[in-house]
Amino acid sequence: MSNRENHHGAKEKMIGYLSGRLLKKEEDRILLLVGQVGYEILVPAVVMKTLLSKDEGDEISLYIYYHQTEKTPKPVLIGFNLEAEKEFFLHFISVEDIGPMKAVKAMELPVNEIARAIESKDAARLKELKGIGARTAQKMIATLEGKVSRYALIDEKAPPQHIPVQDFMEQVIQVLVQQLGHKLPDARRLVSEAMERNSSIATPEALFDEVYKGGIGL
C-alpha cells in the first residue's frame, strides 16, 4: 500500500504541467503529443471553451492534476489553463461527495464565478453546475466559504501581467469589503501595507496572498 502511495505521489509531482502539440479534441478530453508520447487529458467544460479556437497541430500548455487511487487504478490526467484553476479544483474535490470526475463535469462556469457564488452563499447559482443539486450546493458553501475568495479575482480572459496595479488593488479591496466583511478604510490600509511589503506584486491573486500573510485571519 505504501509503495502505491509513494508511486502515486511521485507521479503526481512528475506530471504537474504538460506542453505539446494538440493531436485531437473530443467533447471532454484532448490528446496532447509531448515528445513522442500522446497524453489523453480530461478538461472541464470551462477549459474546453478556451481550446475551441485551437486547431490540431497547435502548441498548447496545461497544468495537470494527476488522479490515481485504489478505486481508480488507471491514471487520469485533468488539465487546466491556469495554476489557480487547478488549485481551486483541489478545493472543489475536498467537498464531500464531489470526486475529481464529478468536479470535471461540474466546472462549466469560470472559476471566479463559482468562487463568488460560494462566498456569497448563492446556492441557486451553484445548482446551475452539472450534477450539483441543492444538498451538494449547500455542502460546497459549508465546506469552502471563506476559503476561495482569492479565486474570485481570477481573470481568465486577460493575462494577469496586463492588469494595471491600481485595478487589481481595487479588486482585492472589493473582496475584502464585500465578501470578508472588512471596513473600506481598513481594506485600503491592508492592501497598501501589502504593496509596501512587496512592491513586485503583479496580480490580484498575489496581492491577496500578501494581505493574508499579514496575519489578518482571512
φ, ψ of residue 121 in degrees (nearest 5): 55, 40
First to last CA, the chain: 37
pLDDT score for 11: 41
Beta carbons within 8 Å of 166's beta carbon, 6+ residues apart = none
Mean pLDDT computed over 14-42: 91
Q: Among 2.102.10.10, 1.10.150.20, 3.40.50.10140, 3.20.20.70, what is the CATH number of 83-151? A: 1.10.150.20
More confident residue, 35 or 72: 35
pLDDT score for 5: 43
Residues 49 and 123: their CA atoms lie apart, in Å, by 24
Per domain, the residue ranges of the chain are 2-80, 83-151, 158-213
Q: Among 3.40.50.720, 3.65.10.10, 1.10.10.10, 2.40.50.140, what is the CATH number of 2-80? A: 2.40.50.140
Assess whether pLDDT exceeds 80 at residue 96. yes
pLDDT score for 174: 81
Assess whether pLDDT exceeds 90 at residue 3. no
**Number of residues written out for the chain:** 218
Residues 133 and 151: their CA atoms lie apart, in Å, by 22
97: cell is 461527495
- Tell me the whole-structure pTM to 2 decimals: 0.67
pLDDT score for 43: 96
